Structure 1
Amino acid sequence: MDAAEAMTLLMSPQGRIDPYPTYERLRAHGPVVQAMPGLYVVTGYPEVDELLRDPRLGVLDDERRDEVWPNWRASPAVSSIARSMLRTNPPDHSRMRRLASGAFSPRRVAGMRDVVHAQAVELLDAMVARASDGEPVDVLADFAYPLPVGVICALLGVPAADRPMFRRWAGDLTGVLEPEITAEELAVADAGATELRDYFVELVVDRRRAPADDLTTALVQVHDADGDRLTGAELLANLMVLLVAGFETTTNLLGNGLVVLLGHPEAAAALRADPDLAPAYVEELLRFDSPVQLTTRISTAPVRCGGVDLPAGSAALLLLGAANRDPRRFADPQRFDPTRDQAHPLSFGAGPHYCLGAGLARLEAQLAFPLLLRRLPELALAGTPRHRTRLTLRGYQSLPVTLGTPAVVDRGTPAGAPPSTP
């Protein structure tokens, strides 16, 4: 199978649901391969890491977007993403990122440990109560979604009563992050983006009228004091992206990781017995089944990587999920092994666009997995879970489980070591 055929397979529903065999077909052509004119696919760990950090590569800017998608400004979903730090290059990216970075500093994240633990315990108690009749429950809907959405909404100052609606809006909006999208899928994404943007328009008005100690108020005040530091469009776009990125990937990390752990009962038992292992487990779960599988960069100058020349203007599809299973970097990469020494997965990216909330996502997962396993020693899948047909953001549609008989555990203090931030 040549690289072009492998790419066609990767974009198919079958390829999206289980991309790992196709990654190996692409890897067989080398760590960097030209799949079609102007498009280079990168599967190697050092090559992906190098290109993420190379200043000659950036995200798609307005000029290039006009060439490949002339009507993108008419799309609420595309235009919202385009005005956020997620899809801008320096100096605009650096300017916007600095404004939000304080809320995600290592010190601030460490200070949220007890709050995250308390929220996780409360959600777990409620899930146990709902399953008292022995019927399956959806651990995504009851735990893996409300935990991270509650944390990011608290940072942004979003009222708790409004949180249930965000999962659908975010799921619709993030369709535009896929490598390919149909007109029907774009229409769904636009509807989700419009509803989410309208919500934040109202929240901004509320914060102007009644400022609070939250990130939304801080960004509104920056915009109102100096529109050159943060425009109105950038304010709304970044609030939307901070919310969506704050829970979408973490929900998938918790769901994907739980399925892996339940499929490896000896490893799950070791973590249940020793929660201090959680940081290493989370790194390996991120490596083994990354919630973010790919990102794209555009070269602004000629680049040579992995023995291949990328001309200026080339698009590089950086397959993070493939890089995390590069046998040159990880011994026996298809095996889940939480005893690996310093996994350092690329799931959160690298370089200027390294995930702003990586430390917070790690903290949530490091607390959640030991808590689930210790409180629910008989936790089991209720049937075969179904993946969403998404490639960029990899996760499950739902995750039915049976809880069994809950154990009595000391839930007064967070278990495990302090959060690891490689």
Structure 2
Amino acid sequence: MRDESKPGIRTDGWSELPPMRPGLPPITPDRATLAAPTGSATAAAERVRAGGPSAAERSPSRTVAPSPLDPGVTRDPHRVHRVLREEFPLTFDPLLRAWVLSRYADVATALTDARFTHGHRPGDPPCARTHVDVDEEELRSVTARTALVLARRIADRPQADLVAEFCHWLPVGAVAAAVGVPYRDMMRLVRGRAASALAGQCTAQIAVREKALASFLANVLADPDHARELSDAPSGQLARAWTESLRRDPPVQIAVRRTAAEVRVSGGTIPAGEPVALLIGAACRDPERFREPDRYDPLRDDPGQLTYGSGACPAVLLAGLEAEYALRALLDAMPRLRFSDGFRPERTGLITRAPRSLLVRPGG
């Protein structure tokens, strides 16, 4: 759909999930989707025996791989991620009903190699066809205005929840403003089924951008030095801090692909026609690729962050603009912004993951 009153803005078909340089994974499968059966348990076991890692490739310390969906994992998925990376780089997960990849090199291959299908990549023909005339300056303008309005609404409060009162609204408001929906109508029209008619199939679902923004603000505000350094930083430095947040705390932890051919990975061989669960969260904290991978470093210069395609996607641009102008607006309206006394962000979720709340004192 195109808003004729705003030349140059075209919002149909935007990718919902911003990839990392360019951004994040392109799908958000729910638990039911991930658990869709691909055959009997016996058949799955045969596949593991036929194509999985050999005895020599497995660590002798464990005989059964943990699952990212095991009870209690949501409290600390990174512990399970470490075990999978180190001991089970390729395993068939009965809960996910899919092969699991957790090492950076394997996940990066699966996201870009044509032998892995069933996932949108920026630059794919549908994306390239529908996004040839996006006006970046207009997107900057509407995103900046929306962020400033939202920040000023909470600036005088003794306490606010940035997730509920800011992150929840900015992605909605940016899309609404871009397509000319009045502010008072944006939730009714942009949320839910009407969103695809207004903003296109890819950007209609704004929940992932909301989660990515919440994690970004949590990472920056956790260290007052980061907030001070970034308050007047140029766009390039803010983009670097945003990319680092996507690396350390990707809002989508698991993406799904399917093999179109037999593929050899570091832990063994995946047969053709198989579902593959990519542990984005594990790959992004692989110590073989990133120094001190658990630390948020807005100036990180480690090369080789995850990429999901060779082309551009306006949703990737929009997500980055939302992060930049969110931080600028909040620190401009509330220079002394900090977490409420005793509050520490708690991230939750298995498939998607982010803080449920960010309690702050706008006046410091």
For the criterion TM > 0.5, the same-fold answer is: yes
CA contact (8 A) 1:4 1:35 kept: no
- What is the number of equivalent residue pairs in this alignment? 299
The equivalent of 2:114 in structure 1 is: 55
CA contact (8 A) 2:98 2:277 kept: yes
The equivalent of 2:326 in structure 1 is: 368
Per-residue CA deviations over 1:17-65 (Å, capped at 9, x if unaligned) read: 4322211111111543444597321112221111111212212xxxxxx
Return the alpha-carbon distance in structure 2 between the equivalents of residues 4 and 257 of structure 1.
35
Given the alignment of the two structures, is residue 403 of structure 1 paired with residue 334 of structure 2, yes or no? no
Counting only pairs closer than 5 Å after superposition, residues 234-253 of structure 1 correspond to structure 2 as 239-244=200-205, 247-253=206-212
The equivalent of 1:27 in structure 2 is: 85
Q: 1:355 to 1:14 in 2, by over 3 A?
A: farther
The equivalent of 1:11 in structure 2 is: 69
CA contact (8 A) 2:258 2:274 kept: yes
Match for 1:45 among 100, 104, 117? Answer: 104
Residue 186 of structure 2 aligns to which amino acid in structure 1? R
Unmatched segments (≥5 aa) in structure 1 = 60-86, 170-195, 205-214, 217-238, 406-422
Unmatched segments (≥5 aa) in structure 2 = 1-60
Match for 2:274 among 281, 290, 314? Answer: 314
TM-score by length of 2: 0.71
1:386 positional shift: 4.5
SS in 1 for 2:149: helix
Per-residue CA deviations over 1:62-99 (Å, capped at 9, x if unaligned) read: xxxxxxxxxxxxxxxxxxxxxxxxx679xxx9564345
Tell me the C-alpha RMSD between the 2 structures: 3.1
Counting only pairs closer than 5 Å after superposition, residues 337-376 of structure 1 correspond to structure 2 as 337-341=297-301, 345-346=305-306, 350-351=308-309, 357-376=315-334
Per-residue CA deviations over 1:247-280 (Å, capped at 9, x if unaligned) read: 3222112211111222222222221253452121
Residue 28 of structure 1 aligns to which amino acid in structure 2? E
SS in 1 for 2:335: coil
Given the alignment of the two structures, is residue 279 of structure 1 paired with residue 239 of structure 2, yes or no? yes
TM-score by length of 1: 0.62
Counting only pairs closer than 5 Å after superposition, residues 20-419 of structure 1 correspond to structure 2 as 20-35=78-93, 39-59=98-118, 96-102=126-132, 105=134, 108-129=135-156, 131=157, 134=158, 136-165=159-188, 196-197=192-193, 199=194, 239-244=200-205, 247-276=206-235, 277-341=237-301, 345-346=305-306, 350-351=308-309, 357-382=315-340, 383-388=343-348, 390-404=349-363
Q: 1:96 to 1:361 in 2, by over 3 A?
A: same
Between 1 and 2, higher relative CO (CA 8 Å, sep ≥ 6) is seen in 2
Identity %: 29
Return the alpha-carbon distance in structure 1 between the equivalents of residues 361 and 173 of structure 2.
24
SS in 2 for 1:41: strand
CA contact (8 A) 1:43 1:322 kept: yes
The equivalent of 1:182 in structure 2 is: none
SS in 2 for 1:52: helix
SS in 1 for 2:336: coil
The equivalent of 2:55 in structure 1 is: none
